[in-house]
């Protein structure tokens, strides 16, 4: 452990929802939910105003609508979020060569490696300057945690939310952790948390009181030692710009081919358990579960399933591996089985961008859109803008950018019955006026996102924007 809080953890506040509020003045201060809007859709991000009603990421969208029926529900704009993320990561790399992104909106930074901080005062100054720079460049807010280890820096950023900075002084970590839930520690997911609760252990202090031997008995050798060390605030993991480990896997080769399907299933479950133990021992979680099967004739099959977010839950890995095995023909016997986890992360967290990708795919699927496809036979002879209105209206996804020849840039509030409703406003304007058009209006077209921070206008140059009144 370091003697100065020079590891920084940045977490953007309700990133996707905040970006939507910043780009749409009429939604500022209001409940906003971003995600898939179809019957199978899930929430990618909810604004803090929506969280008051109990809405959170990974929640089914239908449940979110019941909890917050008056919120604004928007489909995600992945390219827009990526562009903001690139700006933020660029600011982090100005602080240090050691930046470890965890997702689009979250990263660790080793301030000491970049000479940006060497003690508490300089670390706090660097953190405050970073928050100001992010606000200046993107118009958005982020929360910063500073500590002597990655684990504590992430805990600090959680305490700082929203739009704050928390610095944990070296030497105070044990007292800070003691009353916290065991789920605070990396590597303790829902299943492990329930297992500890049944043993009467619910806080970090109770982990320490139980002792290392008891933790090993409850969780196994590797995981037990790791969790106990975390409870004592011991975390020496470095910030790494590139992850060395791409996956964690285990496999067994059998002297005699296994033919019995029941035994094959039991072997896969056993391998899943070993894989998760190794995963937890490394303080990692992963999103993609991989099954490897080498059959009697030496042909090798691999099957994989990607989850919505990283996990270290043995039950989740077991279930995924079992589903993958169902699709493999083991007639004739198998000589090797393996289970692996890839898409690794340091913490068990919902991968927001995975939810965005899912929501975008769902939107395209709902619209019957196939990139590069010409549509049904004969459709190419139909002039643009004169297709059946029911198909045309599906292009207009709530929250997406449009531009009108007369009224300028705006965004889609909704569409249906051959009509599309647009609010004309920019990130730098007052809340704009709403107008409704036919979905095939030739003056209305898909637009590009505008920057959240208004570009400086050269003297004599025309300003960007449209008629918002």
Q: Where are the domains of the chain?
A: 176-231, 247-345, 395-469
289 Rama sector, left if φ>0, alpha if ψ -120 to 50, beta otherwise: beta
My answer on whether omega of the bond before 312 falls inside 30° of 0, hence cis, is: no
**Structural tokens at position 70:** 């008056």
Q: What is the pLDDT of residues 432-444, one digit of tens each?
A: 999 999 999 999 9
Average pLDDT over residues 254-264: 89
d(CA 98, CA 8): 11
Strand bridging mode 165-167 / 142-147: parallel
Angle between helix 190-198 and helix 212-219 axes, rounded to 10 deg: 120
As a whole number of angstroms, the distance between CA 405 and CA 444 comes to 7
Give pLDDT tens digits for 199-224: 999 999 999 999 999 988 988 877 78
Query: Which residues touch 21 (CB under 8 Å, ≥6 apart)?
Result: 27, 28, 29, 30, 32, 47
Query: pLDDT at residue 314 above 90?
Result: no
**Which pLDDT score, from 0 to 100, does residue 466 have?**
46
Candidate list 49, 106, 173, 425, residue with the active-site label? 106
Lowest mean pLDDT among 131-135, 296-300, 346-350, 434-438: 346-350
Note the pLDDT of residue 240.
86
- Does the pLDDT value for residue 252 go beyond 60? yes
Lowest mean pLDDT among 57-61, 73-77, 215-219, 357-361: 357-361
- Rounded to an integer, the average pLDDT of 253-262 is 87
Angle between helices 78-95 and 15-23 (to 10 degrees): 110
CATH assignment of 247-345, given 3.30.70.890, 3.30.365.10, 3.30.1490.100, 1.10.3720.10? 3.30.1490.100
What CATH superfamily classification does 176-231 receive? Answer: 5' to 3' exonuclease, C-terminal subdomain (1.10.150.20)
Percent of the chain beyond pLDDT 90? Answer: 57
The overall longest dimension of the chain from CA atoms, in Å, is 82
What pLDDT does residue 358 have? Answer: 56
- Confidence bin at 298 (pLDDT 50/70/90): confident
For residue 288, list its beta bridge partners.
306, 342
Active site residue 106: yes
Instruction: Tell me the residue ranges of DSSP E strands in 19-163.
Output: 32-35, 43-46, 72-74, 99-103, 106-110, 142-147
> 63 or 192: whose pLDDT is higher?
63
| Residue 11 known to bind ligand | yes
Query: What is the C-alpha separation between 248 and 246, in angstroms, rounded?
Result: 7
Strand-pair partners of 342: 247, 288
Name which of 16-20, 72-76, 194-198, 312-316 the model is least confident about. 312-316
Answer with the residue of higher pLDDT: 313 or 33.
33
Q: What is the pLDDT of residue 293?
A: 93
Please give the Cα distance from 324 to 264 (Å, whole number): 12
**How do residues 88-113 score in pLDDT, each as one tens digit?**
999 999 999 999 988 889 999 999 99
Pairing of strands 285-295, 334-345: antiparallel
| pLDDT band, very low/low/confident/very high, at 78 (cuts 50, 70, 90) | confident
Looking at residues 261-279, what average pLDDT do you find?
92
C-alpha 221/C-alpha 181 separation (Å) is 22
Residue 354, pLDDT score: 52
- Share the mean pLDDT of the chain: 84
Give the three-class secondary structure for 403.
Answer: strand
What's the pLDDT at 224?
85
pLDDT at 317 over 80: yes
For residues 152 and 160, the answer to whether their CB atoms sit within 8 Å is no
pLDDT number for residue 359? 59
Q: Tokens for 353?
A: 């961008």
């Amino acid at each position: 452990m370091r003697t100065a809080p020079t590891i920084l953890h940045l977490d953007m506040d309700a990133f996707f929802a905040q970006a939507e509020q910043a780009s749409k003045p009429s939604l500022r201060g209001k409940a906003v939910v971003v995600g898939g809007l179809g019957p199978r859709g899930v929430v990618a991000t909810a604004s803090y105003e929506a969280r008051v009603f109990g809405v959170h990421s990974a929640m089914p969208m239908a449940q979110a609508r019941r909890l917050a029926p008056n919120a604004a529900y928007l489909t995600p704009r992945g390219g827009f979020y990526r562009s903001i993320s690139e700006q933020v990561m660029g600011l982090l790399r100005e602080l240090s060569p050691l930046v470890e992104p965890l997702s689009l909106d979250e990263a660790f930074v080793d301030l000491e490696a970049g000479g940006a901080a060497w003690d508490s005062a300089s670390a706090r100054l660097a953190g405050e300057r970073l928050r100001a720079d992010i606000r200046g460049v993107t118009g958005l807010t982020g929360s910063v945690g500073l500590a002597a280890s990655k684990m504590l820096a992430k805990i600090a950023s959680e305490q700082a939310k929203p739009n704050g900075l928390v610095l944990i002084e070296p030497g105070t970590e044990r007292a800070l952790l003691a009353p916290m839930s065991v789920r605070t520690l990396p590597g303790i997911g829902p299943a492990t948390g329930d297992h500890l609760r049944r043993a009467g252990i619910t806080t970090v202090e109770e982990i320490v009181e139980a002792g290392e031997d008891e933790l090993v008995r409850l969780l196994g050798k590797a995981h037990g030692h790791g969790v106990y060390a975390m409870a004592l605030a011991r975390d020496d993991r470095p910030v790494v710009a590139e992850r060395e480990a791409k996956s964690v896997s285990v496999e067994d080769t059998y002297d005699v081919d296994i033919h019995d399907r029941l035994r094959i299933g039991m072997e896969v479950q056993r391998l899943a358990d070993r894989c998760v133990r190794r995963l937890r021992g490394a303080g990692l979680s992963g999103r993609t579960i991989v099954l490897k099967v080498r059959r009697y004739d030496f042909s090798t099959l691999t099957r994989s399933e990607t989850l919505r977010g990283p996990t270290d839950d043995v039950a989740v890995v077991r279930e995924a591996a079992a589903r993958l095995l169902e699709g493999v023909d083991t007639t004739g016997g198998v000589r090797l089985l393996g289970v692996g986890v890839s898409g690794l992360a340091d913490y068990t967290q919902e991968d927001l961008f995975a939810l965005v990708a899912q929501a975008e795919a769902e939107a395209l699927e709902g619209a019957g859109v196939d990139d590069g496809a010409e549509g049904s036979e004969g459709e190419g002879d139909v002039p643009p803008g004169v297709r059946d209105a029911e198909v045309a209206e599906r292009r207009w996804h709530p929250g997406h950018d449009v531009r009108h020849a007369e009224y300028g840039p705006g965004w889609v509030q909704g569409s249906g019955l051959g009509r599309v409703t647009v609010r004309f406003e920019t990130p730098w304007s007052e809340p704009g006026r709403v107008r409704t058009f036919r979905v095939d209006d030739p003056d209305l077209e898909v637009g590009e996102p505008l920057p959240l921070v208004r570009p400086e206008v050269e003297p004599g140059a025309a300003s960007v924007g449209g008629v918002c009144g």
